[in-house]
Chains A and B, each alone.
Chain A
Amino acid sequence: MTTTTLAVLVPLLPFLGAAAGLLLGRTAPGFVRPLAVLPPLASLVLAALVAVHQGGGPVLDAHTELTPTGSVPVELALHIDGFAALVAVLVAFVATCVQIYSTGYLRDDPRYPSYAALVSLFTSAMLLVVYSGDLIVLLVGWEVMGICSYFLVGHYWETPEARAASLKAFLVTKLGDVPFLIGLFALATDAGSFRVTRVLGTVASGGLHHPTLVALLLLAGVAGKSAQFPLHTWLPDAMAGPTPVSALIHAATMVAAGVYFVARLLPVFEASRAAMLVLAVMAAVTMTGSGLAALAQDDIKRVLAYSTVGQLGYMTGALAVGDRGAAVFHLLAHGAFKALLFLAAGVVIHAAGTNSLAAMSRMRGLRERVPDAYWTMTVALLALAAVPPFSGFFSKESVLGAAEHAAHGDTAHVPGAAGRLVLVAGLVTAVLTAAYATRLWLLAFRGRGAEVPDHGRQPLTMTVVLWVLAVPSLAFGGLAYRALPGWFDGNSLTPTPLTSILGTGLAVVGVLLTYGVWQRTTRRLVSPPLGAVAAHPEADAALVEAEAIATHTPAYGDIAYAPDPADPGRALLGPLHRHAAVGFHLDAVYAALFVRPVRAGASLVRFLDREVVDTYVGAAGALPRLLGAAVRRAQTGNVQTYVSALLAGTVVLAVAVVLVATGA
């Protein structure tokens, strides 16, 4: 098989798996699990083969035109460079892990067949985005991901949180997708083609007429999909979905799509200095804001969600300083450890029967119950905090290195201000990241209080996957930073001494600070658990999680916040804590800016419809009704009246005929 055939099969296999899963889900339940796991696994193998074939060499570019589509042709095109090959491997890898994990996690879920099929479809769409060499085909995958995320986030649609979250995810990403679509059209109009190669060629020859406008329109879509400020609000709420879905969305698909898209079309963005500056500001605000918010979250998954937002901020920061190699490097490393974090968190939630960190901090012995999750999560948190020699260290240092490079003004197309902004924000975020990672670890695994009830061993499928993911979290960065430049643009990804020392030092500061505060606050621990835990701790993990999410708001009064005096985040943030817990009131701002005007408009429209339009409609009905009443009055039942009218009419007609006939 040629590399092209292999590459075509990579997105096709999960798609076929999804279709078969949906068709056979009810009739042949025995096939559902193999159909869920095997296609992503095969895709992983094929993607790895494609990566080996491609090997960082020349870009593999194949295309076929299915049908003429007018002035701007749409072609089924593959565009596989080093980025695409490696990202596809990551996507297939994480998707396979998630599918295997899900067989255990949603062991008894009646909707597992459709769930697995949607995960496969999600994977397929992401792989399509990754490999596609045509922007319209890419858009197809992009939108399919949107709808899949809607369905998967709303998997527990019995709970109002999940319903609201799925709608929010869909609407917010769509809010970005509309300008994205317009941007794509503008881009294709200038380039005369949707092909990535042609677009890049046009950009290189300076054929883009409105680079800033196009770049900003595209950025809106990227911000929606990759959860960048100000369109990031859907991501924390999307935690209402099952944990494996969160892992999939956060690590490999969906959020990665935006970063990957910018990386692929970076020259388009570089054509506009304003766009790069906007990108840098977006990245900086996202990074620091999400780091602060993560410190205040009570739901373990929401902490991870905000950390995802922050890490994505690093990636967009790397893009803003013009180093897509660093961005994709961080994307790959982050994909591995974030998937691990989420999957391990799923195990922890199952074992603890709660998703609240405040409740976990009042439980003793959680790490003995789930040793696999404990050790792998420690690894992943160290990677997240960018402690050497874990993979996150190398990828984050490459980002900071690129930012430092740009801050000196050494990078073409990139304003020095962008570099400085990203560098400062990245360093601040390094402290915050280390702090919330430490807080998460301490609260979850260093709890004091009642013994955690024993629910038996976790399913093997769930724990094995954790260890599989722990390997790249531990070693990928260190092994890859030398080899990757050959696959990418050739920029060095080796950590520079200055940023390494600064970053690591700040991370250590963050860890120590949090630990010190925790030492102090933990004495204030009130012994009884604050919140309720799941009602059916013996059920499968998915049910436990759904119940835990559903009980959080009744127990604490908020889905994200817990009034826990022993929380080190509260002491660290001080007066900021209350605001950080609710995401700095961004949702309230949105409500004031969009929801309330729309509601007011809706009530105005309703008023106009009821009182104004309906008046005309009612009047239009009243006139015939009046006429009908009049006609009914004529139906007296008196035959003589009828005959009188009849004969009168006859006379009139006869006279008329006579007059007409005589020409009078």
Chain B
Amino acid sequence: MHLVYPAVLSALLFSTGLYGVLARRNAILVLMSVELMLNAVNLNLVAFDVWLARAARDTLHSGQALTLFTIAVAAAEIGIGLAIVLAVYRNRGTSDIDKLRDTAEGPDGAEPGAVAAQKTEATA
């Protein structure tokens, strides 16, 4: 099998995930997109591992081992990420990441004031 097939698929999936991360509003959807990106990398790893193992250049199966590690790390990431999203949701009443703009540099005091108002609204 041509290596190009899995490699190109991986690249396309990665870009799709990238688009999702940048374009999605809901934090959980962003996490899903991150999973897509991670899986794209996994596919790449597996494909290259198979190729290199056949070519007897790599006897350690490092690609597959790394894939496993990535899956484990992804599991940890999704757990922590969801916990963070939940905490944010509890505190702010939303999980839309484009509304979490506390670090904005406002030309006047209007923006932080609005955020503060949101905060009080959420806690109320």
Physical contact A–B (CB less than 8 Å): yes
Residues of A at the B interface (CB closer than 8 Å) are: 629, 632-633, 635-640, 643-644, 647
Interface size for chain B: under 10, 10 to 19, 20 to 34, or 35 or more residues?
10 to 19
12 contacts between A and B (CB under 8 A): A629-B107, A635-B103, A635-B104, A636-B101, A636-B104, A637-B100, A637-B102, A637-B103, A638-B98, A640-B22, A643-B22, A647-B22
Contact with A along B1-35 (1 / 0, CB 8 A): 00000000000000000100111000000000000
Q: List the B side residues contacting A637 at CB < 8 Å.
A: 100-105, 111
How far apart sit A640 and B97, CA to CA, in the bound complex (Å)?
A: 8
Most B-side CB within 10 Å, residue of A640, A644, A647:
A640
Chain B residues, CB < 8 A from A633: 107
Query: With A639-B100, A640-B98 in contact, is A632–B107 under 8 Å at CB?
Result: yes
Of the candidates A629, A632, A636, A639, which one forms a contact with B97 in the assembled complex, judged by CB atoms under 8 Å apart? A639
- Closest Cβ–Cβ distance, residue B92 to chain A (whole Å): 13
B67 → A minimal CB distance (Å)? 23
B residues within 8 Å of A by Cβ? 18, 21-23, 97-98, 100-105, 107, 111
- Closest chain B CB from A427 CB (angstroms): 86
Cα A8 to Cα B105 in complex, Å, equals 76
Bound-complex Cα distance A629 to B106 (A): 10
CA gap between A638 and B101 in the complex, in Å: 6
Interface Cβ pair total, 8 Å cutoff: 32
In the complex, residue of chain B having the shortest beta-carbon distance to the beta carbon of A639 = B97
How far does the Cβ of A37 sit from chain B's closest Cβ, in whole Å? 74
Q: Residue on B with the closest CB to A642?
A: B103
Residue of A nearest to B104 (CB): A637
Closest to A629 in B: B107
Distance in angstroms between the alpha carbons of A636 and B104 in the assembled complex = 5
Could you say which residues of chain B place their CB within 8 Å of the CB of A635? 103-105
* Separation of A629 and B103 alpha carbons in the complex (Å): 16
Q: A632-B105, A637-B111, A638-B98 are in contact. List 18 more A-B contacts (CB 8 A).
A: A629-B107, A632-B107, A635-B103, A636-B101, A637-B101, A637-B102, A637-B103, A637-B104, A638-B97, A638-B101, A638-B104, A639-B97, A640-B21, A640-B97, A640-B98, A643-B21, A643-B22, A644-B22
Q: Which residue from chain A places its CB closest to the CB of B102 in the assembled complex?
A: A637
Question: Cβ of B23: which chain A residues have Cβ within 8 Å of it?
Answer: 640
In the complex, residue of chain B having the shortest beta-carbon distance to the beta carbon of A635: B105
- A638, B99: Cα distance in complex, Å: 8
Give the distance to chain A from B82, nearest Cβ to Cβ, in Å. 17
> How far apart are the CA atoms of A633 and B105 in the complex, in Å?
7
CA distance A638 to B104 in the complex (A): 7
A644–B30 alpha-carbon span in the complex (Å): 13
**Which residues of B are found within 8 Å of A644, using beta-carbon distances?**
22
Cβ distance B49 to chain A, nearest Cβ, rounded Å? 23
- Kindly state the separation between the CA atoms of A119 and B111 in the bound complex, as whole angstroms: 71
B57 to A: closest C-beta gap in Å:
22
Q: Tell me the complex Cα distance, A629–B98, Å.
A: 22
CB-CB nearest 3 A-B residue pairs = A637-B104, A637-B101, A635-B105
Closest to A648 in B: B22
A643 to B18, CA, bound (A): 10
Query: What residues on B are CB-neighbors of A629 within 8 Å?
Result: 107
Cα distance A405–B22 in the bound complex, in angstroms: 111
Instruction: Report the nearest A residue to B18, measured CB to CB.
Output: A647
Smallest CB separation, B70 vs chain A (Å): 20
Complex alpha-carbon distance, A643 and B33, angstroms: 14
